[in-house]
Amino acid sequence: MHIQSVRIRNFRSIQDISVSLLGPGNAPEGASLANVNVLLGVNGAGKSSVLRAIALSVLAPVLERGAGFFADGLVRTVRAGTDATAVACRAPLVATLDAAVCIDAQDGALGGDSASVALTMQAKVEQVGDSEVLQWIPPDDPQLAREIRDIQDTRQTSAFFLVGYGATRRVEHDHDADPAQRFKTRAPRYERVAGLFEDHHSMVPLSAWWPAYAMQNPGRGKQVINLMNRLLPESCRMHAAGGSRVDAEAPGFSMHGVHVPFRALSDGYRAYIGWIGDMLYHLCMGAPSGRKLVDNRGVVMIDEIDLHLHPDWQRSLLPTLSHALPNIQFIVTTHSPLVVGSLQPQNLLVLDEGGDDGAQCRRLPEQVHGRSAEQVLLSPYFGLASTRAPGVADRLEQLRRASEAGDLRAAADYLHLLSSGAL
């Protein structure tokens, strides 16, 4: 499965936008990272809302029936009246979400034997009194509706594979982690995306599932190690605690050749390995029998993908993910110019606040691949007028105007400030 496009109306900060996405099989010819989509925009523009809207539209057949999900704060709030008398109200009290989805054989009988099949998944969130209610809008064909619900209701979790991580992602403590216990409060499909909706949601640590899994399925256990090492910088390697032998002990890591336990890694490494390990857990639990992990299809969404990562790592992050998991569609948000500088225009989507009309989404033609961080920040993708501290930027502008008016001292001060950065 991958998402072709999504239309979002009256959802959080978004009034009405349509977002077209790249995915395996529908990327333009010559696209180097055909499975990568990056959402850009200022805080509040609606980047996280797009991720949530995708999750709700695709998984609505399960989430509308509880599954541990509770709708709250999703219907767009608008202001009514003048500035002096403005009051918050909800209008028109219904948010609608439409996702055009390509499904294949991994998604059950609906996907056929090989070729992808187009499917529209629709949902709405309605304000009912003081509460909000998510509802799936089934297709007109009753048989198709039953098949979709049956597939999503079963524990055939390889179908409609969708995983999402919010910006507050954290790894659960080893002694608290019990993957099976999670499914008593959340349906498996909601558990995969709960981090997009719940700030306190934690991820499943490698040590809670990989040792037993690797003992039962040594081949897949080694695939996890190989994939993890493809996704990590070369200075950090994952290995079985007993060396090359897969055993029941927690996995270990090495930094520059020195073996260290997971808890001894830096915060940045633990944060990154945390969500990668959780993603691999869901891949393993949902992988069809006989299929390699790298052949799995689906969608992975990450909010603020650059969190905790050194700039050098940010430059290679998305190309690494794209090449290691070519059949996974990645939809992510970022504020990092180094992440953006590793991409082509077709990978980038800019969300504008849009004023009273709500957020708007657009693609830009400007090429930023290979540009410096400052050049990217000054480009239309970020729209900064200057990367200097506000006081310095303002002073430079004052001196520039004065020097253009013939003030020689201002011209000298301008050059001094430009070179030194000192006021």
Task: Note down pLDDT in tens along the chain; length 423 residues.
Answer: 999 999 999 998 898 999 999 988 666 666 679 999 999 999 988 999 999 999 999 999 999 987 789 989 999 876 665 555 555 665 668 999 999 999 888 887 776 655 578 899 999 999 888 889 999 999 999 999 999 998 888 766 788 999 999 998 877 666 556 666 666 678 888 999 999 999 888 888 888 899 989 999 999 999 999 999 999 999 999 987 654 444 446 788 999 989 988 888 888 898 899 999 999 999 998 777 778 899 989 999 999 999 989 999 999 999 999 999 999 999 999 999 999 999 999 999 999 876 556 568 999 999 999 899 989 999 999 988 877 777 777 777 788 788 888 888 888 877 887 777 665
Residue type, 180: A
Domain 1-199+297-370 = CATH 3.30.160 = no
State how beta strands 258-260 and 236-239 pair.
Answer: unpaired
Sign of CA dihedral 306, 311, 315, 320: negative
Predicted local confidence at residue 398, as pLDDT:
80
Quote the longest CA-to-CA distance of the chain.
81
Q: Name which of 308, 241, 311, 242 is nearest 276 in CA terms.
A: 308
Count of residues in the chain? 423
Distances (CA, A) of 226 to 8, 100, 222, 237, 246: 38, 33, 6, 9, 13
For residues 170 and 157, give the distance between their C-alpha atoms in angstroms, rounded to a whole number: 23
Distances (CA, A) of 92 to 2, 11, 95, 110, 357: 30, 11, 8, 34, 14
Predicted local confidence at residue 279, as pLDDT:
94
Answer whether 297's CB lies under 8 Å from 161's CB: yes
For residues 145 and 135, give the distance between their C-alpha atoms in angstroms, rounded to a whole number: 14
Residues contacting 221, CB < 8 A, separation 6+: 210, 213, 214, 215, 240, 246
Predicted local confidence at residue 155, as pLDDT:
63
Predicted local confidence at residue 27, as pLDDT:
63
Domain boundaries, the chain: 1-199+297-370, 204-294
For residues 111 and 298, give the distance between their C-alpha atoms in angstroms, rounded to a whole number: 13
For residues 119 and 110, give the distance between their C-alpha atoms in angstroms, rounded to a whole number: 9
Residues contacting 172, CB < 8 A, separation 6+: 202, 203, 204, 205, 208
Predicted local confidence at residue 6, as pLDDT:
96
For residues 14 and 90, give the distance between their C-alpha atoms in angstroms, rounded to a whole number: 13
For residues 47 and 280, give the distance between their C-alpha atoms in angstroms, rounded to a whole number: 24
What is the strand order of the sheet 348-352 is part of?
A: 162-165, 298-302, 328-333, 36-40, 348-352, 360-362
Predicted local confidence at residue 244, as pLDDT:
46
Q: Name which of 234, 232, 167, 233 is nearest 206 in CA terms.
A: 232
pTM of the model: 0.88
For residues 191 and 330, give the distance between their C-alpha atoms in angstroms, rounded to a whole number: 18
Predicted local confidence at residue 328, as pLDDT:
94
Predicted local confidence at residue 245, as pLDDT:
47
